[in-house]
């Protein structure tokens, strides 16, 4: 079997087109995931951060200041820290799909 110049020139072009199509498809998936996460983030922030703060406040008042022996102070404190860490984990997931400009914090 003999290869002509046309066969040799078509292969790299076909591979480049396939690679470009895969890249564009990956960017569409990344943008769709990013848009979904950006829409969900205010709802999570509005629920998880106040839950963490109120849980910490209740733990301080009932667990340490009043000192009720039946109050699960360490479990409640772990629940508060867990809610905050869950929000931070979500922000980390968002950062996987987004690229921010390097001077974003300087503005």
**Among the listed residues 98, 97, 92, 101, the one whose alpha carbon sits nearest the alpha carbon of residue 44:** 92
User: Is the confidence at residue 55, as pLDDT, over 70?
Assistant: yes
Would you call 34 exposed, middle or buried from its count of C-beta atoms within 10 A (0-12, 13-18, 19+)?
middle
Percent with pLDDT over 70 in the chain: 82
**pTM check: above 0.85:** no
User: Is the confidence at residue 104, as pLDDT, over 70?
Assistant: no
The pLDDT score that the predictor gives to residue 84 is 95
Q: Could you tell me the residue ranges of all domains in the chain?
A: 5-97
The pLDDT score that the predictor gives to residue 3 is 62
The pLDDT score that the predictor gives to residue 40 is 94
Alpha helices (H) along the chain: 5-58, 73-97
User: Is the confidence at residue 7, as pLDDT, over 80?
Assistant: no
The residue behind tokens 């839950």 is 51
């Amino acid at each position: 079997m003999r290869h002509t110049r046309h066969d040799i020139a078509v292969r790299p072009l076909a591979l480049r087109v396939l690679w470009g199509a895969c890249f564009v498809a990956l960017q569409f998936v990344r943008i769709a995931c990013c848009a979904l996460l950006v829409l969900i983030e205010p709802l999570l922030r509005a629920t998880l951060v106040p839950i963490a703060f109120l849980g910490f406040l209740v733990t301080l008042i009932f667990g340490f200041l009043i000192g009720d022996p039946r109050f699960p102070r360490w479990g409640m404190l772990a629940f508060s820290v867990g809610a905050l860490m869950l929000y931070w984990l979500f922000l980390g997931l968002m950062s996987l799909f987004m690229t921010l400009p390097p001077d974003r914090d300087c503005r």
